[in-house]
A and B are shown apart, each in its own frame.
Chain A
């Protein structure tokens, strides 16, 4: 499927079409958009983690500008169910009803001409509440006698899952067994642009128009219509430029429900913009896992089995649409990673705690699971006295086994996993690290190998039974009378450069110059329904849909072009933006074809397809169990044993994302993911005290990696095509964020091996590194 011979199509590192507006400060984010008569909202939020709410006293004289749940009847509760057996569904009111379940939960909306004045109103409210014991540590959530968040539940858990392979015989036959207790910290995804919502009611259309910073406009539309009691046609979601998402903007927000309700009630546009304090204190919502992991291996490092007890802190509610158990319930299916694992026993708990509801962050459960598995593998290797590479080579799925179905039923589509590790091993200077270690330096090398399932569809998600299940991805393409191609997709950009990549895909099929392709997205009124941009799916799903729609369009273009050239349909080809006779040079441009359809229909052939030059086509890979990109990360880290500081001296990533639609953009995704993974590994942590109070309220306390913290990474690509996708592309958007914690902590532990110390918990801050060192010196 190629109609482009000029190097601008699939596989070209085309510069981004998006860049010009951002470089000139002309991007349009929610906060940049205003409306005449617009009011600003500030929320009164819960100051406590767990309490019974008795009432709110509004500031005198401002009673009509402060709205509690009682003032806004008719708002539905957020309910994100799951079909997994035993799932306990929470009811999350848009504004608190009678209980407060986490710090930052919405209690009342305060409305004024400016945000500052609205904040004054919030500050003037008085709250009456009775404090209840808070569940701040997920390990205590299900303890007998623990205060229940949802009082009709029998325990503070959304779900438990079990896989019960018999591992009782492994002690007798294993050459080595290790058990590790590991924890990852709660994080804030911290896109630089916070959330933002601008709601307005259009009385002519009887439509609620909500401009909101979201990754999934159509899912938000469905959820919002449901909560507002409106038909879906009465809700239009516009998502303008989105200043980073990473999962943070893949949610139906209570703020959206409240703003929409207020806009209709007040007859004025209403806007809320999240500030950083709100983001950190009310929505630190990801990554907090706890593991007790045991692994058994034979002498050569071959894994015999793994036993895992995992808890994920899922927070107070089940968020729409992904629900509260997406992470914990996946631990068991992700644990085998890229390895051949014969036995797995796994028990998981999605603990319900007095913290913000969990959202899947880039890498979703994989970052935590990969961390647990990779550090445990290294512990096994140390015990067996084999190298970290050797234990991985002994277990990685070999290329000749592809496509490979592992013990939990995941199917890996293609690839040479060991080769990625061989290349990483070659690229990193292990010999010099060993030499420096021998000279007494506290330096180490660490590896992590993993795979990332992306673009998984119906066959995977129907089992989860969450509020939506992704099916066929659609794209609508149409030629305008001047020969420009409009490409409409329901996925949405939040930095991925889809306006560029999808133009390249269209160019690949039709040969229209990418500058003449206009990607339309971020508006439910203009685009086909889609579950949106998440799960590393846009390149595979929207890429496939755009290609298919363009392919079908090219058939119609060819038919009209052939008529204009006065030859049979089969005697022409569509390439380089033209319909060309196969037997010679005569051709007409696609623009000529478009002009004929719209403006000179007298020249159309009598049997022309009356559908014209507009097509909506659907696409889904077959099978749709997901692509698996994979990578090997290798890192050299130096540890200062006096200060506990970790310096990353070198970092190599060997990555296989199948066909790279735009290699420059793919590199950007991997590098950006890596920076976030370094944050998870070394810096980012939202601590909570025993009362459930978040302790980092600014970016001076919550540390995001800066330019001096991310090394100048070396990135190598392999390009093993996926046999299941249009161009062989694989989902790769999250991969960079998965490997770093495992690789980095393995490097730290390699460095500390000479003193016998081991870091277990993330992030590996100076404090934790020193604690690990001091623990062995005692």
Chain B
């Protein structure tokens, strides 16, 4: 199998790695870079568990070939440090019981942060629509929706 040498900036750190043409970004992040917070749920781009930020935009890392990411900045759940919105979401997720088994949570948080940033005026219906690409099998979504809405509301107040 031929190899592709790529350079990624992952969670702020430049990394040179070799990948195979068929390797997807999620496998590369988890296998080679040991960033196992990015979870693989379906490998069809449906469930959203593998959602990471690529160049600031949420992306399905399970259907993103690693080889095409040369030069990209990738941010995973491990890379948000004390990002203010992520911190608020984490607090809200715990308060609203927005997670049970925790498997969908990293992808859910990355998507939620994008919603908060992009749609400051989103109402419940819009939040639900925006979350529709991330499946959760445990919570029934109520806690997740409430958590995102509460962070939106806090930010509108601030």
Residues in A with CB closer than 8 Å to B140 are 668, 671-675, 710, 713, 736
B40 touches A31 (CB 8 A): yes
Residues in A with CB closer than 8 Å to B131 are 706-707
Complex Cα–Cα for A241 and B101 (A): 8
Residues 21-49 of B at the A interface (beta carbon under 8 Å): 22-23, 30, 35-44, 46-47, 49
B44 touches A700 (CB 8 A): yes
Residues 271-286 of A at the B interface (beta carbon under 8 Å): 275-277
Residues 413-439 of A at the B interface (beta carbon under 8 Å): none
Chain B: CB-nearest residue to A275: B43
Cβ of A124 to closest chain B Cβ, rounded Å: 14
B109 touches A704 (CB 8 A): no
Cβ of B130 to closest chain A Cβ, rounded Å: 8
Residues in A with CB closer than 8 Å to B41 are 192-193, 276
A675 touches B141 (CB 8 A): yes
Complex Cα–Cα for A665 and B145 (A): 17
Which listed segment binds B: A17-25, A79-87, A145-153, A382-390? Answer: A17-25
A668 touches B101 (CB 8 A): no
Residues 199-237 of A at the B interface (beta carbon under 8 Å): none
Residues 81-140 of B at the A interface (beta carbon under 8 Å): 90, 93-95, 97, 99-106, 109, 124, 127-129, 131-140
Known: A667-B97, A668-B100, A668-B143. A23 touches B109 (CB 8 A): yes
A27 touches B97 (CB 8 A): no
Cβ of B81 to closest chain A Cβ, rounded Å: 10
Q: Which of A495, A704, A708, A710 contacts B101 (CB 8 A)?
A: A495
> How would you classify the secondary structure of chain A's contact residues: helix, strand, loop or mixed?
loop
Complex Cα–Cα for A557 and B47 (A): 50
Residues in B with CB closer than 8 Å to A191 are 101, 103, 137
Cβ of B84 to closest chain A Cβ, rounded Å: 15
Complex Cα–Cα for A370 and B47 (A): 30
Q: Which of B37, B44, B136 contacts A276 (CB 8 A)?
A: B44
Asked if B152 CB lies within 8 Å of chain A CBs, one says no
A243 touches B103 (CB 8 A): yes
A interface residue count range (under 10 / 10 to 19 / 20 to 34 / 35 or more) = 35 or more
Asked if B3 CB lies within 8 Å of chain A CBs, one says no
Cβ of A133 to closest chain B Cβ, rounded Å: 32
Cβ of A670 to closest chain B Cβ, rounded Å: 8
Residues in B with CB closer than 8 Å to A241 are 101-102
Complex Cα–Cα for A372 and B138 (A): 25
Complex Cα–Cα for A496 and B139 (A): 10
Chain A: CB-nearest residue to B94: A19
Asked if A664 CB lies within 8 Å of chain B CBs, one says yes
Cβ of A38 to closest chain B Cβ, rounded Å: 11
Asked if A32 CB lies within 8 Å of chain B CBs, one says yes
Asked if B76 CB lies within 8 Å of chain A CBs, one says yes
Known: A192-B47, A671-B142. A25 touches B136 (CB 8 A): no
Q: Which of A20, A275, A276, A668 contacts B139 (CB 8 A)?
A: A668
Residues in B with CB closer than 8 Å to A531 are none
Q: Which of B102, B128, B133, B138 contacts A21 (CB 8 A)?
A: B102
Asked if B74 CB lies within 8 Å of chain A CBs, one says no
- Residue of B23, B77, B124 contacting most chain A CB atoms (<10 Å): B77
Residues in A with CB closer than 8 Å to B100 are 244, 495-497, 668, 672
Cβ of B117 to closest chain A Cβ, rounded Å: 18
Known: A16-B97, A25-B106, A193-B103. A672 touches B39 (CB 8 A): no
Asked if A15 CB lies within 8 Å of chain B CBs, one says yes
Q: Which of B76, B99, B103 contacts A19 (CB 8 A)?
A: B99
Asked if A26 CB lies within 8 Å of chain B CBs, one says yes
Which residues of B are interface residues toward A (Cβ below 8 A)?
A: 20, 22-23, 30, 35-44, 46-47, 49, 76-78, 90, 93-95, 97, 99-106, 109, 124, 127-129, 131-145
Which residues of A are interface residues toward B (Cβ below 8 A)?
A: 15-16, 18-29, 31-32, 116, 190-193, 241-246, 275-277, 494-497, 664-665, 667-668, 671-676, 698-700, 704, 706-708, 710, 712-713, 736
* Nearest 3 pairs of A and B residues by beta carbon: A25-B37, A22-B102, A243-B103
List 12 A-B pairs, Cβ < 8 Å.
A19-B93, A22-B99, A27-B37, A192-B49, A244-B103, A244-B138, A671-B143, A672-B137, A698-B42, A700-B46, A706-B133, A706-B135
